[in-house]
Amino acid sequence: MQHLSRQQLVLLVLLTVVWGVNWPVMKFGVTGFPPLTFRTLCMWLGLPLLGGFLLWRRVPFAIGREHWRELAVLTVFNMLFWHTLAILAIQSLSSGRAAILGYTMPVFSAVMGALWFGQRLPARAWGGVAAAALGVVLLLWHEITALSGRPLGVAMMLVAAATWAIGTQQMRRTRIPAPTLAMSFWMTLATTLWMSLLAVLFERGDWVAPNPAQWAAIVYNAIGVFAFAQVVWLMLARELPPIASTLSVMFIPVLGVFSGAWWLGEVLHWQDWAAVALVMLAIATVLWPSAKPAPEQR
């Protein structure tokens, strides 16, 4: 466990708001618009902003050739799978429930960390994982019937969550001697090129000009997600223990559910409110400072 600094806490709150609200924004943006093209436009607009921020902060872009392979692996698991599968899945799922499925990532991360990466979790961390998992189940309570008719969308979101969990574990353990901002830029550039290729191959015949509302969603993603949230997440994933950096963002799907309900008119039930309490409990288990051991008696 690790106590968050004031700066990390502020960044985490902003990250939660930006990413949570983004789920209904994405759902709105891809309604009647090719999803891969939507994501591609967001990334091409966000990439220059990220690059300009590096220039303004005088962050070096260079990453040694000997680290390119590791950077490529980090890109695949942190960004390629996630951005491709999530934007395709949200077409067939409600925005809030897509967020819930995507944020099963902390549960995957905790289990993978314990089984594959030798991460030892204290009892209260497992309690947080259990509370988060139960919260996800409750949030999906009224969606089981609907989701059973959309197995591909569910499968894509779960695969995206699992690969993102692996990427988070890898990001924590990377020894690439480069600033996280520089790594974020090159990972975003590679993912932008990948999404552009997919959009050309599979959606070229469906291309239309975005309407003003769709442009607003694209700009929100470009600035909020790719120039800010994605970078902040990679920084937190690299600085904090995996269990803290993952469970600490579990409030994002809750915000996604409630913002989607407010915007899209989805009905909320008691299970949604109970899930909020469980997710808050999960966050507390990993962020609440541990008690200091009592001094030895002589």
More confident residue, 234 or 35: 35
* Structure confidence at residue 294 as a pLDDT band (50, 70, 90): very low
For 106-121, write each residue's pLDDT tens digit. Answer: 777 777 777 777 777 6
Place 91 in a pLDDT band, splitting at 50, 70 and 90: confident
Nearest to 254 by CA among 277, 226, 229: 277
Better-scored residue on pLDDT, 92 or 182: 182
Is the pLDDT at 32 greater than 60? The verdict is yes
Q: Identify the weakest region by mean pLDDT among 89-98, 170-179, 239-248, 265-274.
A: 239-248
Q: Is the pLDDT of residue 87 over 60?
A: yes
- Tell me what pLDDT residue 266 has: 62
Assess whether pLDDT exceeds 80 at residue 79. yes
**Mind listing the pLDDT tens digit for each residue in 119-133?**
776 777 777 778 777
Residues of the chain with pLDDT > 70: what percent? 81
Top-confidence residue, 248 or 163: 163
Confidence category of residue 67, pLDDT binned at 50, 70, 90: very high
**Residue-averaged pLDDT of the chain:** 82
pLDDT of the residue at 172 = 82
Confidence band for 169, pLDDT divided at 50, 70 and 90: confident
Q: Is pLDDT of 234 > 80?
A: yes
